[in-house]
Structure 1
Amino acid sequence: MKKFILTTVMFFMGIIMVMAAGAAEIKFEKTTHDFGSFSENSPKVTCTFKFTNVGDGPLVIHQAIATCGCTVPQYPKEPIKPGESGEITVTYNGAGKFPGRFQKTITLRTNGKSEITRLIIKGDMMPAAADAK
């Protein structure tokens, strides 16, 4: 019986400690970036999404997954303290892809209040022949 009571007390103390630590919350300046038109001759384009941890606990980005291998996100691996900012850099490489409009989604998994956040990049890669005119 003593073990049961001790275990129960430890369990509730753990819950209280987690709640006292506060929750992180990620806030982006923008969640969509439009590259506009760019040439197939220069198919690699990059943008940056800036964010701030507006919560009261450290923010950890666990994963950043793109819908396609042509899109590569880079994100901070260390925790972002409350009030601090960070950046996620996304590179789209259209080499070997068909020209035209595209839209790609980057899904972030964090320890924030909203565990999942989606970022969107889009643009229009113009055919190389259009550049020659």
Structure 2
Amino acid sequence: MKFVDETADFGTVKQGEKVVLFYTFENAGGSDLVIYEALPSCGCTTPKYDTAPIKPGEKRTVEVTFDSEGWSGTQQKSITFKTNGVPDYATVTLTGIVE
């Protein structure tokens, strides 16, 4: 699982806003890739992804929603995707500022 960009900056948002980010990845391996689970660093970050196997060379996109309610200042959150790949996980990070 190779992400085009592992980090995204959502800029500055007002507290209470929800930010949606998209991360594109490719199955860089030689066999079907399966995402078993996505583990966000906190409950404020929700990943959405397709659980169907990804063919070698195929690209997909995962959607990540950050809910800024209750947060302020500089934020850095992450989502770790557990897969059947080598290595068996990949992590993306989102950063930004909540006013």
Q: Measure, in 2, the Cα distance between the counterparts of 1:109 and 1:69.
A: 17
Q: Equivalent residue for 1:112?
A: 85
TM-score normalized by structure 1?
0.71
Cα-to-partner distance string for 1:34-53 (whole Å, 9 max, x where unaligned): 11111225x10010000111
Q: Equivalent residue for 2:19?
A: 45
Residue identity over aligned pairs, in percent, reads 38
Q: Which has the higher contact order (CA 8 A, sep 6+)?
A: 2
Cα-to-partner distance string for 1:60-99 (whole Å, 9 max, x where unaligned): 000111011110001111000111111111000012x132
1:7-18 correspondence to structure 2 within 5 Å: none
1:94-113 correspondence to structure 2 within 5 Å: 94-95=68-69, 97-113=70-86
Q: Equivalent residue for 2:34?
A: 60
Q: Equivalent residue for 2:95?
A: 122
Q: Equivalent residue for 1:89?
A: 63
Larger Rg belongs to = 1
Q: Which residues of structure 2 form unaligned runs of 5+?
A: none
Q: Which residues of structure 1 form unaligned runs of 5+?
A: 1-25, 127-133
